[in-house]
Amino acid sequence: MIVLSGTIGAGKTSLTELLANHLGSQAFYESVDDNPILPLFYENPKKYGFLLQIYFLNKRLEQIKRAQENQLNVLDRSIFEDSLLFKLNADLGRATQTEVTIYDSLVNNMMMELPTTVSKDPELLIHVRVSFDTMLQRIKKRGRAFEQIENDASLYRYYEELNQRYDHWFENYDRSEKMQIDGDRFDFVESEEARHNVIDMIDTKLSEIRQK
């Protein structure tokens, strides 16, 4: 199992599709466009923040079990970074620390309940790192109304803080092998050459892992 990580607009969905096609495996995508809670969360984060996290947790655990049925299936977000997003919401007053503590405890307990035949950790985590400017451009380009700063000025601070926190999160991630891709330098969303470069880097990393 391979998992992607990165901030909003990093290109995780695009790379998930590209990588799954390259490996001949299955892609699993985060529930966004069909997520009934997400628009409610953007309207009222304090009310719906905890419910949104539980919704994502349920979906991710289901995907982990399905993804482990075949080798090298690709998930477009890691379950381990959800706590990062929820803690940020708490720090910004959009959730409570008590909710964060309960959520983290629930994640740990539910991960322990996964069948022993299912690996709880991926073979590789790939973090797509993009600058704040690129992040904002991608969010605007994909046009989801509830994500736009023009509709909610407070999102600017949220996006800025989220982008900054990912560096620390990736540095401390230790659940599996990991690699980082510079999404500004290698714009695989738009550039065919960048797509080939990124695939070559991932193939090299997977080869190194298998030789250990």
Strands in the chain per DSSP E:
2-5, 27-28, 74-75, 124-129, 177-182
Task: Please enumerate, by residue number, every residue annotated as part of a binding site.
Answer: 6-14, 30, 42, 53, 77, 82, 138-142, 147
Give, in degrees to the nearest 5, the angle at Cα 180 between 191 and 4: 80
Which one from 76, 121, 182, 200 is the annotated catalytic residue?
A: 76
- CA dist 126 and 179 (Å) reads 5
**Of 165, 189, 135, 147, which Cα lies nearest the Cα of 35?**
147
* Annotated catalytic residue 76: yes
Task: Please enumerate, by residue number, every residue annotated as part of a binding site for substrate.
Answer: 30, 42, 53, 77, 82, 147
Taking the CA atoms of 157, 158, 161 and 162 in sequence, report the sign of the dihedral they define.
negative
- Residue 121's CB: how many other CB atoms inside 10 A? 17
- CA dist 169 and 80 (Å) reads 10
Q: Which residues pair with 177 in a beta bridge?
A: 124
Task: Please enumerate, by residue number, every residue annotated as part of a binding site for ATP.
Answer: 6-14, 138-142
Residue numbers annotated as active site: 76
